[in-house]
Copies of this chain bind each other. A is one copy, B any other.
Amino acid sequence: MIRVTVWNEFRHEKSHEAVRAVYPKGMHEAIADGLRKDSGLKVRTATLDQPEHGLTKEVLAETDVLTWWGHMAHGEVQDEIAARVQQRVLEGMGLIVLHSGHMSKPFMRLMGTSCLLRWREADESERLWVVSPTHPIVAGLGPYIDMPAEEMYGEHFDIPAPDDLIFVSWFEGGDVFRSGCSWSRGLGKVFYFRPGHETYPTYHNPEIIKVIDNAVHWAAFAGNNSVAPFYGANTKPLQTIVPKKH
């Protein structure tokens, strides 16, 4: 059972009628509802305005994979909590960063770059092409996902070269974007997934939920955490070291 925490800034839904119309309970509930159809997941939600943004040490300790949607209030996320999320990723928690989360504090801290990009709100169609067909994140999809209308995000996207480039988006207006990218950071895995502008029903789209669900399974820790206790420790040599004459 993978324990998932779906985090949402949850502000647009309160202040913008058009957003509330699409996501009456908030984007987090749409995403969580989608993931709850997978009986292998145990899903809860957390939002910015909860105490400690809903991300207490206890919650994070019990979270295998965290998904993150934020936009208008990135600056209100406390630095201490952003650092806490970063630290949990380094310890092995998976992190799935959605859409405008590219400028969130945890993602920026993990990437080390500006994470800036070009964008345009023009109600244009997007097609996400699979370019890494062996990756488990694309299991069960066709060769691409069509979004009838979305916000445009365009290159150059200022991120470290991804360990795996999984999707590349085409936009009606003439732009492309590396829209599905994965990285390892410490013992944790990070996946960035582009779609999800708040005025579109993106998180009601079964293909988008499928990708996030696949990503949860991929990002849940399945590696080797025996290396962790060695961090910074001194260590006994395997064999006798011959003293040098200086």
Report A's interface with B, CB cutoff 8 A: 86, 90, 109-114, 116-120, 122-125, 127, 129-136, 138-143, 146, 148-149, 152, 154-158, 160-161, 163-165, 168-176, 178, 183-189, 221-228, 230-235, 237-239, 241-244, 246
Q: Which of B125, B130, B184 contacts A155 (CB 8 A)?
A: B130
Q: Are A184 and B134 within 8 A (Cβ)?
A: yes
The distance from the CB of A179 to the nearest CB of chain B, in whole angstroms, is 10
Q: Are A112 and B111 within 8 A (Cβ)?
A: yes
Q: What are 15 A-B pairs with beta-carbon distances under 8 A?
A: A86-B112, A111-B112, A116-B232, A118-B233, A118-B235, A119-B235, A120-B237, A125-B242, A136-B222, A143-B226, A154-B235, A170-B174, A172-B239, A173-B239, A176-B176
Please, how many angstroms separate the alpha-carbon atoms of A176 and B172 in the complex? 11
Name the B residues within 8 Å of A235 (CB-CB): 118-120, 152, 154, 175
Q: Are B244 and A123 within 8 A (Cβ)?
A: yes
The distance from the CB of A189 to the nearest CB of chain B, in whole angstroms, is 6
Q: Which of B139, B173, B185 contacts A160 (CB 8 A)?
A: B185
Q: Which of B118, B170, B241 contacts A124 (CB 8 A)?
A: B241
Name the B residues within 8 Å of A225 (CB-CB): 133
Name the B residues within 8 Å of A168 (CB-CB): 155, 168, 176, 178
Q: Are B237 and A139 within 8 A (Cβ)?
A: no
Q: A130-B224, A244-B123 are in contact. Are A156 and B230 (CB under 8 A)?
A: yes
The distance from the CB of A125 to the nearest CB of chain B, in whole angstroms, is 7
Q: Which of B158, B183, B232 contacts A90 (CB 8 A)?
A: B158
**What would 13 more interface pairs be, CB under 8 Å, given A125-B242, A131-B156?**
A113-B185, A124-B241, A130-B224, A132-B184, A134-B188, A134-B222, A136-B222, A143-B156, A161-B165, A163-B163, A172-B241, A174-B239, A175-B235
The distance from the CB of A50 to the nearest CB of chain B, in whole angstroms, is 26
Report, nearest first, the 6 A-B pairs whose CB atoms are least far apart: A174-B238, A173-B237, A116-B231, A138-B224, A110-B112, A149-B244
Name the B residues within 8 Å of A90 (CB-CB): 113-114, 158
Which chain B residue has the least Cβ–Cβ distance from A228? B133
Please, how many angstroms separate the alpha-carbon atoms of A189 and B120 in the complex? 29
